[in-house]
Structure 1
């Protein structure tokens, strides 16, 4: 089969073949003080100097969901890394709730205070990045939200000699539809000179 992305169904083609996608579990606080928490699988690292991450939810302008709107209005958000033990709770936070209701409360998740930004982080998250808004960019029907990481939380149990150890972080990635993957099965390849 060959054809344009539209002939395949662009969303299904991209979301089903660019896998696994890391999940940004984004916590924000609205200007009214309501805590919001939602997962986004269009997420990645953009740069390390300065350290910038991005998530790109569907929606632009007045059509933005709470997380990107809060991040843009307050210029702060937290990206919590989803691990296998938190996958079910992460899924609970993807529910569509009435405006003003917190996904933290809906999923029964404890909040932890952040150090450099106002929004809380997920207390049980093994890794969390406190971010200040770096820039936004409308890309078609989505808004890419870039955040500079200004503070990081890394659980001791995921480190070796004071550094993050990917072998100890059972991160979850999004596949397609209701399918997810863990990062337990790993192999190494030496990079050629």
Structure 2
């Protein structure tokens, strides 16, 4: 298959994916921002997530180099107002160019945090580097990170901790270059053998189901 045809086809087979902007800072103080569609929850206690980096040397090295040098990053959800600029961060900018400045993306500096946040992101996560694993089959790297802090509106969270990503306008990606929004349709109680699951609310404005 043609390279781009194959990429479009294969990346769509695993379904919709979340859109995140990962922010890092180099030892020289240059901020980097890159879009990722493969961030995955890895565990709640400790709070871990992972993401995949393409083989180094193909435009994927800046995030990794910054992580190894400083140990910190931010994870920023992409909302509709950020989509075009977020997609543009996938371009191979030189290491001495900050995507924040080049693409006019507003950032937030928080005292005590060594990586920049995206100001217009509705859900912002601070994290630290834990480990990375080289995948022999394709030379990609699985990078493991630990969540340290979360910044978001309390309106997005229900009493049981459920996070309503539709309310937060978190964007999803289809394939490599198509963006959209998710719409929640069902939420059910914890599944147990010989017990029928019950619908539960996922919106603060709804009456809680019994």
Q: Into which bin does the TM-score normalised by the smaller protein fall?
A: 0.7 to 0.9
Pairing 1:76–2:75 present: no
Query: What is the SS of the residue equivalent to 1:166?
Result: coil
Q: Using the TM superposition, give the Cα deviation of residue 124 of structure 1 relative to its aligned residue in structure 2, in angstroms.
A: 1.1
Counting helix residues as a fraction of each chain, which structure ranks higher?
Answer: 1
The structure whose Rg is larger is 2
Q: Deviations over 1:131-176 (max 9, x none)?
A: 1111111113211111100011113553456954334111111111
Identify the match of residue 55 of structure 2 among 28, 47, 59. Answer: 59
Match of 2:172 in 1: 173
Q: CA RMSD in A?
A: 2.5
Counting strand residues as a fraction of each chain, which structure ranks higher?
Answer: 1
| Separation of aligned partners in 2, 1:13 and 1:62 | 21
Query: What is the SS of the residue equivalent to 2:184?
Result: coil
Where structure 1 has 5 or more consecutive residues not aligned to the other structure, the ranges are 1-7
Over 3 Å counting, the alpha-carbon distance change for 1:189 and 1:156 in structure 2 is closer
Where structure 2 has 5 or more consecutive residues not aligned to the other structure, the ranges are 193-210
Tell me if the contact between 1:159 and 1:168 (Cα under 8 Å) persists in the aligned partners. no
Match of 1:138 in 2: 134
The ranges of structure 1 where at least 4 consecutive aligned residues each deviate by more than 6 angstroms after the TM superposition are: none
Match of 1:186 in 2: 184
| Separation of aligned partners in 1, 2:78 and 2:130 | 23
Identify the match of residue 88 of structure 1 among 55, 67, 84. Answer: 84
| Separation of aligned partners in 2, 1:115 and 1:173 | 30
| Separation of aligned partners in 1, 2:143 and 2:111 | 21
Q: Using the TM superposition, give the Cα deviation of residue 51 of structure 1 relative to its aligned residue in structure 2, in angstroms.
A: 0.6
Over 3 Å counting, the alpha-carbon distance change for 1:27 and 1:63 in structure 2 is closer
Task: Report the number of matched residues.
Answer: 184
